[in-house]
Chains A and B, each alone.
Chain A
Amino acid sequence: MALDKNQIAKRIAQEVKDGYYVNLGIGIPTLVANYVRNDISVEFQSENGVLGMGPFPFEGEEDADLINAGKQTITTLPGASFFDSAMSFGMIRGQHVDLTILGAMEVAENGDIANWKIPGKMVKGMGGAMDLVASADNIIVAMMHVNKAGESKILKKCTLPLTGVGCVKKVVTELAVMEVTPKGFQLLERAPGVSVEHIIAATEATLIIDGDIPEMKID
């Protein structure tokens, strides 16, 4: 069965290691915070100037001066800090953030990513996405393998305006976990109950399959 958004987030949460500083993009990535193991210490960075981002507040405790990059009200955890936008992106560009998780509309086998613009239809802006993908060494993309029309979004070449070039390393979709290699996407894991054939059919890009592909382990 293809994964739902929460299950994709659960699988990605397994990549978060003890002591990591993590930036979560809007959409599916924000759900990752709910599934990080509670026996490890992690700090979430919000690009609008917060480290140590915590869960949403209880009703009645919302603070207009405390929001995340998606403009939602949040709280902070012990050890949190506030800083300005120049320092925030200095943190990002200076590779002080260990892991960046963001969404995408398309990824290509050379690691290109498009996630900010559909010309003539959706031109909301790139926000911090271009800084994040250009700076991070460790990027995981959370995305749907195919769009609503069943067309593959894992491509040989992106068709939409690019957010960054050659920057994606790992992709987790509702069907698979894949890694970008010089020869194409390497299939690492498949969603429980999803066949390799199904994934091949859903992937327009070059897909490398080496031996038996294990299922993702998601509780």
Chain B
Amino acid sequence: MINKKVSSVQEALQGIEDNMTLMLGGFGLCGIPENAIAELVQKQTKNLTCISNNAGVDDFGLGLLLQQKQIKKMISSYVGENAEFERQMLSGELEVELIPQGTLAERCRAAQTGIPAFFTPAGFGTEVAIGKETREFNGKMHVLEHAFQADFAIVKAWKGDTAGNLIFKGSARNFNPCMAGAAKITIAEVEELVEAGTLDPNQIHIPGIFVQRIFQGVKFEKRIEQRTTRKK
């Protein structure tokens, strides 16, 4: 059996260098690869281009990399929760490409599945479409978007096995499945790593073929951004 297991986050992130383009899973703080992000801060890798739906909060998630000025460019769909991000962006310190969330997901999936470009109706007639080819299909206008090209994809899953197979939990799934296999090398961070053969093949969400390295995270804070409750 092919073994993708690496025993530490350090080993998992080998080869990530300055100036690289990274994909990072997560929606808000949900389903983010916390341990890998902490290690990127440790490594002080600089000038990164990060493809991730959000930028974390000021002191957690990708916000930690922003604090350390390790990110040159963010490609995201929404950055409202991070004041430092907004400040860096409005001041010009940080390059930002804001793209529709569905387009972000599909550009990852296209990279994963060998589709070099695709048409989507999202953004037609807005600043997102500037400079892009547009075409009419069935009486409706669409914008041509291209697959991403990234060096590393870092995804977070609930469970994984040594063959790289992944299972996700709840809304922590989000961008992680479409990012797995969408970059040159995919690193999977999991809460529970088991031996190949333990997981039921029927339960696998992402087959290990899309994953090159898998490691078990040591600590998961799983911070809640907006703890919202109702009265009994």
Contact = CB atoms under 8 A, between A and B. Distances in A.
A127 B77 contact: yes
B14 interface: no
Summarize B's interface: helix, strand, loop or mixed. loop
Given A73-B224, A84-B175, A124-B78, A89 B102 contact: yes
Nearest to B89: A123
Interface string A117-129: 0001001111111
A72 B78 contact: no
Contacts of B76: 125
Contact of B105 (A46, A65, A88, A163): A88
Contact of A57 (B108, B124, B175, B230): B230
Given A84-B177, A131-B122, A134-B124, A71 B30 contact: yes
B15 interface: no
Interface stretch (B5-13, B37-45, B163-171, B210-218): B163-171
Nearest to B169: A65
Interface string A138-177: 0000000000000000000000011111100000000000
Contacts of B86: 123-124
Interface stretch (B16-24, B64-72, B125-133, B195-203): B125-133
A72 B226 contact: yes
Contact of A125 (B80, B122, B125): B80
B28 interface: yes
B27 A125 contact: no
B232 A48 contact: no
B30 A127 contact: no
Given A71-B226, A125-B98, A131-B122, 5 more contacts: A67-B27, A73-B228, A84-B177, A126-B128, A163-B126
Closest 10 CB pairs of A and B: A89-B102, A165-B125, A131-B102, A124-B80, A65-B170, A125-B78, A64-B222, A72-B228, A134-B121, A84-B177
Interface of B: 27-31, 53, 76-81, 86, 89-90, 98-106, 108-109, 120-128, 158, 168-178, 205, 222-232
20 contacts: A47-B101, A49-B171, A50-B171, A64-B30, A66-B170, A82-B171, A84-B205, A85-B105, A86-B177, A120-B90, A124-B78, A126-B78, A126-B128, A127-B100, A131-B103, A134-B123, A134-B124, A161-B127, A164-B125, A165-B126
